[in-house]
């Protein structure tokens, strides 16, 4: 699949590898890298967990959409989205218009092992595999709309990045 659109959007559950893989893809393809969550934190001066706790999920989702749609897309870039970003139809349509969407897939056990010691919005303490399964089940139909699906279960981020480059070039 030759990439005819300038940008690459990485979607998937928290802990699926979007940020790690995104850095590596950007490096090997000589693209800019944008982590949407980091950009929201930079612009708001608050951490994502603080936004969820102080302002609520609806406010966070509005900020997420606002920040994304205002990004400078004048140069090709890799954009790691938040796990819930593609759930808004407006966001999915924006990604479809502007780039190739890649779903980084990981199972709930792998996700749990990657995020169990982190403070993640929407996750109770302690984080459970069952709760991850519930969120994944709610989101899977949207994630499946991605142009490309890549399993991140057993591969290092640099290997996944090389696979993405091979698919797109």
Q: What CATH number has the domain bearing residue 21?
A: 3.40.50.300
Give 165's Cβ-side CA count (13 Å radius). 17
Give me the domain span that covers residue 57: 7-168
Whether residue 2 is contained in a domain is answered as: no
Residue 1 lies in a domain: no
117, 146, 135: which is closest to 9 by C-alpha?
146
Q: What is the pLDDT of residue 3?
A: 52
The CA dihedral of 90, 121, 16, 153, to the nearest 10 degrees, is -140
Question: Which residues contact residue 32 at a Cβ distance below 8 angstroms, ignoring those fewer than 6 apart?
Answer: 26, 75, 76, 77, 78
- Left (φ > 0), alpha (ψ -120 to 50) or beta: where does 14 sit? beta
Burial 2-22 (b: 16+ CB within 10 A, else e): ebebebbbbbbbbbbbbbbbb
Whether 64 maps to a domain, the answer reads: yes
Mean pLDDT for each 10-residue chunk of the chain (169 residues)?
74 92 95 96 92 91 96 94 96 96 92 71 69 91 97 89 91
Q: How many domains does the chain have?
A: 1
Our separate counts of H helices and E strands in the chain read: 8, 5
With respect to residue 147, please indicate whether it lies within any of the assigned structural domains: yes
H helix runs in 89-169, sequence order: 89-98, 108-115, 129-143, 157-168
Q: What span, in angstroms and rounded, lies between the C-alpha atoms of 26 and 83?
A: 19
Q: What is this structure's pTM?
A: 0.92
Place of tokens 């989205």: 81
Does any domain span residue 59?
yes
């Amino acid at each position: 699949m030759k990439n005819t659109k300038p940008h690459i959007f990485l979607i998937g559950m928290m802990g699926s590898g979007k940020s790690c893989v995104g850095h590596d893809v950007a490096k090997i393809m000589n693209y800019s890298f944008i982590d949407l969550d980091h950009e929201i934190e930079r612009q708001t001066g608050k951490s994502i967990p603080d936004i969820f706790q102080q302002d609520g999920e609806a406010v966070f989702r509005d900020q997420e959409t606002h920040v994304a749609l205002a990004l400078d897309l004048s140069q090709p870039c890799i954009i790691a989205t938040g796990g819930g970003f593609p759930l808004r139809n407006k966001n999915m349509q924006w990604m479809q218009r502007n780039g190739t969407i890649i779903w980084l897939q990981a199972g709930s056990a792998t996700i749990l092992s990657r995020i169990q010691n982190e403070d993640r919005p929407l996750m109770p303490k302690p984080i459970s595999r069952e709760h991850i399964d519930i969120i994944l089940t709610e989101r899977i139909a949207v994630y499946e709309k991605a142009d490309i699906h890549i399993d991140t279960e057993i591969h290092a981020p640099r290997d996944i990045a090389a696979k993405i480059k091979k698919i797109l070039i």
